[in-house]
Structure 1
Amino acid sequence: MTRETSSAALSILAILSLLAVPSVVEAAEQPNIILINCDDLGYADIGCFGSTKHRTPNIDRLAAEGMRLTSYYVTSGVCSPSRASLMTGCYPRRVDLHVDHQGGWVLFPRGKKGLNPSEVTMAEVLKEAGYATAIVGKWHLGDQPEFLPTRQGFDQYFGIPYSNDMGWTDRKDRRYPPLPVLRNEEVVDQEPDQRYLTQRYTKKAIDFIRARSEGPFFLYLPHSMPHWPQYASEDFAGRSANGKWGDAVEEIDWSTGQILETLAELGIEDRTLVLFMSDNGGAVRHGASNKPLRGGKGGTYEGGQRVCCVVRWPGRIPAGATCDELTTSMDLLPTFARLAGGTVPADRTIDGQDIWSLLSGQPGTKTPHEAFFYYWMGTLECVRSGPWKLRVALKRRKSQEPFSPQLFNLSEDIGEATDVAADHPEVVARLQKLAEQAREELGDDGATGSGQRRAGFVEDARALTGADD
């Protein structure tokens, strides 16, 4: 949210979001963009964010040659809602992907719901600006043809349409179809040997980079790992200090190194922005670490939604830098649009903000967000503004007893250990007002917000096209 304190803050954002984003580069200087998104990787699962168990020299090199974003947030503790925000620049509730069609926390195989084709994705923004676009990896925004990446701005797609546990190999109940591997919209493999998924993705990604090296290109590489069940090839299996989780992480680091080597070989390092992130907090029970954050995957404590993020663009992003200003995955769409000379959709609210001034290290730049809202599925649980984080609800709260808001000062208490609400009633009141604005605009629990849009549904799409069910 932009810096406003009145109750009209969200409405003002809606107006501001209608403006086109100016470019900072000439068309001939459009950067190639590579977005690497890991599945369930923890905040402290890479060396440059504090891991002592995982060897990640290539990702650490990205950090040494670029910038670490240490207060970078995704919008959900689970994958489908988070990925919806990444692609659209909007909160999950705004695009109606905070739950699936049956109220589940992510989308499942053969589901009726997906990212509405009328939404404008990051890929569509960049494609309109002249980019070749490809996704290699996990999509998880709808597995029916109407919702696949090739209908959402990507020229090419290779990967699986949802999580790697939604198949037969690691489940006995056979409630889902065999895990498919798609090339564009065609199933080319079923129940793949997941030990080689990271290698297969890496090869396809490099093939695309080589074919489009003249640029500009956008490569979205959403790894399936280290999400459960973790797999790694024989080159990495059993070699880390953290079991299967560490093996999968270290193979992702190898993959990142292969991409960096390819960029150097082709001589396009200096005109390629590479961003590495996770889709949500790490799954601690499977081996992830989110230290020093509290909580992990699925929750709204910091460990669920604050994730590791590293970005490099030689000569444009300062080397060895750290940014602790609040940034979000929603900010990538407007920021990439600016760098590409593209435009942000002018007919709808976009919650993300252009953060290029932060990434480029311009002195004195502050976060463009007045507030950040943490939702658990459809429930608003927390709001952050500046260093303050107010918990206004509890996940899966069974008790009907009134919940007393809890206040944390994240600059002094990153682990959310000490509730200081009683000491700062004025801060509690201010953040409660921001929370109320979010409820009005985005909704809360069963109440629909005034700014929500409808997700895509198979029956709607097929009624428009006349296709059979």
Structure 2
Amino acid sequence: MNKKRTELRLQNHQTYLDSIKNAGVENPPNFVLVFVDDMGHGDISCFGSAAVHTPNLDRLAENGVKMSHFYASSSVCSPSRFSCLTGRYPNRGFVRHVFFPHHQLKGRIINSLVFPYGVRGILPDEITIAEALRAGGYKTGMFGKWHLGDQSPYLPNEKGFDHFFGTYYSNDMQPYAYYRNDEIAIEAPADQTQLTKQITHEILDFIDENKEQPFFVYYPSPFPHNPAHVSEDYAGTSKGGTYGDCVQEIDWSMGEIMKKLDEHGLTENTLIIFTSDNGPWYEGNPGYHRGRKGNFFDGGQIVPFIASWPAEIPKGLEVDATAMNIDFFPTFLKMAGIPLPGDREIDGVDMLPLLKGEATEALHEDLFFIYGLKVMGLRTRDNFKYVDRYPSENSTYKKSKQGPFLFDLNHDFNESYNAETHYPEKMDALRERVEIKREVMKRNPRGWKDNSSR
């Protein structure tokens, strides 16, 4: 990367944060963003699970809105987390796959082969929700799995979080320690059966300490990512094995957070969002969609979504229109009265009209699917989906590329039939839109408004 240009980006980054210090609205809302790991669309009882009982999440949905076609920006972890926090497609930050621990030789080799330009985490010139909200007067806390870099300058406290209690990567990576800010709080290997309880208590303490001012709680749970773990209190309580027990303990955690907000009279003016970083891996129900974690079929990217904000969101709303986790950044900033940064493309849009029932159609004309650094497909507002040639999700034919595909999701929600012969003009039009987007992003991958490439 060009050194002078990088310095300029960092200056613009700080200039933006300085400019919003006096921004904001009267009586700003609090935010609780729960971002679980590898949970399927069908793993919650209000989304159809008969094996897993989630009364607290069901109650959250009854008092707010659930979306049936909400997408993660990626079918794997780190890219989705990048988009969740920045409002940008993951290739904007060269986050093409999962980061591995730099403490191990294997991890350093994988990172060097996978990530271009020496990227080892979320780049310092990216602006996160936490950075913008903190500049606007919020207290910000993160609790759980980061997975956007495990060394400076990529750490949570360097990307806008006043308080951090969590781990730097997935629970199947080593060494698996937990940190409180930059100090080890739980030595590796952490006892994962106790983590949901420990994280929950940290969140409750944070809410107690900051109840008199606006706050942002980011709760990226490390579960139910494989290997799932659960405490003795919830072991054997579901009909879904340890995975289901783990989901039910997450539901308990949600109930504790909801009770704490009630206790302090904060529920009415707090936006709670519950969703997942991508679809399920080895276990879990992808909502009867085709595919799972790691591929472009909807089972890998359509995830559960529930939101509640009693002051503004009507009860019991169900939304069929599509949205994506790139929409969190502009939505939160709009609610907080903070303007968006003007020097970069923000791919997301304010999704509040959908959540409030003021809009019924998708706010994006197209949602794009990214593989590595390449645009590989899209879903349109009228519910057609184009996917370019891609390795099969069938493990027997894993090395065999299939496609391209055109799916008419209006009549084929689980992507069983290629509709190209019925809609040849639609196929050509969507392929062209993908190629145009691909070329635009190739010319300006970071999405800078001055068109400089990096």
Tell me how far apart the structure 1 counterparts of residues 410 and 250 of structure 2 sit (CA, whole Å).
31
1:357 to 353, 358, 362: 353
1:87 to 78, 85, 88: 85
Measure how far apart 1:451 and its partner are. Answer: 3.1
1:185 aligns with 2:192: no
| Cα gap change, 1:155 to 1:50, in 2 (>3 Å) | same
Q: Which amino acid aligns with 1:109?
A: P
Measure how far apart 1:71 and its partner are. Answer: 1.1
Q: Which amino acid aligns with 2:166?
A: G
1:321 aligns with 2:310: no
Measure how far apart 1:395 and its partner are. Answer: 2.8
1:52-71 equivalences in 2 (<5 Å):
52-71=50-69
1:184-203 equivalences in 2 (<5 Å):
184-190=181-187, 191-203=189-201
Tell me how far apart the structure 1 counterparts of residues 310 and 74 of structure 2 sit (CA, whole Å).
31
Q: Spell out, residue by residue over 1:376-433, the C-alpha distance to the aligned partner (whole angstroms, 9 max, x if none).
A: 3334332111210012121377458xx6522111121110011111111111111112
The 10-residue stretch of structure 1 (210-219 or 369-378) with the greater mean CA deviation from structure 2: 369-378
Q: Which amino acid aligns with 1:55?
A: H
1:220 to 201, 218, 221: 218
Tell me how far apart the structure 2 counterparts of residues 85 and 55 of structure 1 sit (CA, whole Å).
30
Contact 1:292 1:415 in 2 (8 A): yes
Tell me how far apart the structure 2 counterparts of residues 207 and 26 of structure 1 sit (CA, whole Å).
25
Cross-structure match for 2:6: none
Tell me how far apart the structure 2 counterparts of residues 205 and 315 of structure 1 sit (CA, whole Å).
22
The 10-residue stretch of structure 1 (122-131 or 252-261) with the greater mean CA deviation from structure 2: 122-131
Tell me how far apart the structure 2 counterparts of residues 113 and 428 of structure 1 sit (CA, whole Å).
37
Tell me how far apart the structure 2 counterparts of residues 220 and 55 of structure 1 sit (CA, whole Å).
24
| Cα gap change, 1:424 to 1:133, in 2 (>3 Å) | same
1:4-403 equivalences in 2 (<5 Å):
27-98=25-96, 105-110=97-102, 111=108, 113-167=120-174, 178-190=175-187, 191-283=189-281, 285=282, 287-362=283-358, 364-386=359-381, 387-395=383-391, 398=399
Report the count of equivalent residues: 406
Secondary structure at the aligned position of 1:145 is classed as coil
Q: Which amino acid aligns with 2:278?
A: N
Secondary structure at the aligned position of 2:391 is classed as coil
Tell me how far apart the structure 1 counterparts of residues 341 and 24 of structure 2 sit (CA, whole Å).
20
Measure how far apart 1:453 and its partner are. Answer: 6.3
| Cα gap change, 1:309 to 1:404, in 2 (>3 Å) | closer
Tell me how far apart the structure 2 counterparts of residues 84 and 151 of structure 1 sit (CA, whole Å).
15
**What is the aligned-residue identity percentage?**
41
Contact 1:96 1:453 in 2 (8 A): no
Q: Spell out, residue by residue over 1:329-359, the C-alpha distance to the aligned partner (whole angstroms, 9 max, x if none).
A: 0001000000001121111111011111111
Tell me how far apart the structure 1 counterparts of residues 160 and 292 of structure 2 sit (CA, whole Å).
32
Q: Spell out, residue by residue over 1:276-311, the C-alpha distance to the aligned partner (whole angstroms, 9 max, x if none).
A: 00000012x2x2001221111111100001111000
Cross-structure match for 2:105: none
Contact 1:134 1:156 in 2 (8 A): yes
Q: Which amino acid aligns with 1:258?
A: E
Measure how far apart 1:368 and its partner are. Answer: 2.0
Measure how far apart 1:106 and its partner are. Answer: 0.5
1:421-440 equivalences in 2 (<5 Å):
421-440=420-439
Contact 2:319 2:360 in 1 (8 A): no
Q: Which amino acid aligns with 2:122?
A: L
Contact 1:128 1:342 in 2 (8 A): no
Contact 1:441 1:452 in 2 (8 A): no
Q: Which amino acid aligns with 2:379?
A: R
Which runs of 5 or more structure 2 residues have no equivalent in the other structure? 1-15, 103-107, 109-118, 393-397, 449-454
Tell me how far apart the structure 1 counterparts of residues 339 and 150 of structure 2 sit (CA, whole Å).
28
The alignment yields a C-alpha RMSD, in angstroms, of 1.9
Contact 2:376 2:434 in 1 (8 A): no
Measure how far apart 1:163 and its partner are. Answer: 0.4
Secondary structure at the aligned position of 2:436 is classed as helix
Q: Which amino acid aligns with 1:314?
A: P
Contact 1:270 1:313 in 2 (8 A): yes
1:409-428 equivalences in 2 (<5 Å):
409-428=408-427
Q: Which amino acid aligns with 1:344?
A: L
Cross-structure match for 1:451: 445
The 10-residue stretch of structure 1 (182-191 or 222-231) with the greater mean CA deviation from structure 2: 182-191
Tell me how far apart the structure 2 counterparts of residues 404 and 161 of structure 1 sit (CA, whole Å).
36
Tell me how far apart the structure 2 counterparts of residues 307 and 357 of structure 1 sit (CA, whole Å).
20
Contact 1:77 1:298 in 2 (8 A): yes
| Cα gap change, 1:344 to 1:26, in 2 (>3 Å) | closer
Q: Which amino acid aligns with 1:183?
A: R
Q: Which amino acid aligns with 1:353?
A: V
Measure how far apart 1:192 and its partner are. Answer: 1.1
Q: Spell out, residue by residue over 1:43-73, the C-alpha distance to the aligned partner (whole angstroms, 9 max, x if none).
A: 0000111111001000011100000011111
Cross-structure match for 2:7: none
Contact 1:133 1:218 in 2 (8 A): yes
Contact 1:125 1:343 in 2 (8 A): no
Contact 1:280 1:307 in 2 (8 A): yes
Tell me how far apart the structure 2 counterparts of residues 275 and 241 of structure 1 sit (CA, whole Å).
26
TM-score (norm 1): 0.83
Tell me how far apart the structure 2 counterparts of residues 40 and 26 of structure 1 sit (CA, whole Å).
34
Which runs of 5 or more structure 1 residues have no equivalent in the other structure? 1-17, 99-104, 168-177, 444-448, 455-469
Measure how far apart 1:214 and its partner are. Answer: 1.5
Tell me how far apart the structure 1 counterparts of residues 446 and 432 of structure 2 sit (CA, whole Å).
20
Contact 1:77 1:305 in 2 (8 A): yes
Q: Which amino acid aligns with 2:272?
A: V
Measure how far apart 1:265 and its partner are. Answer: 1.0
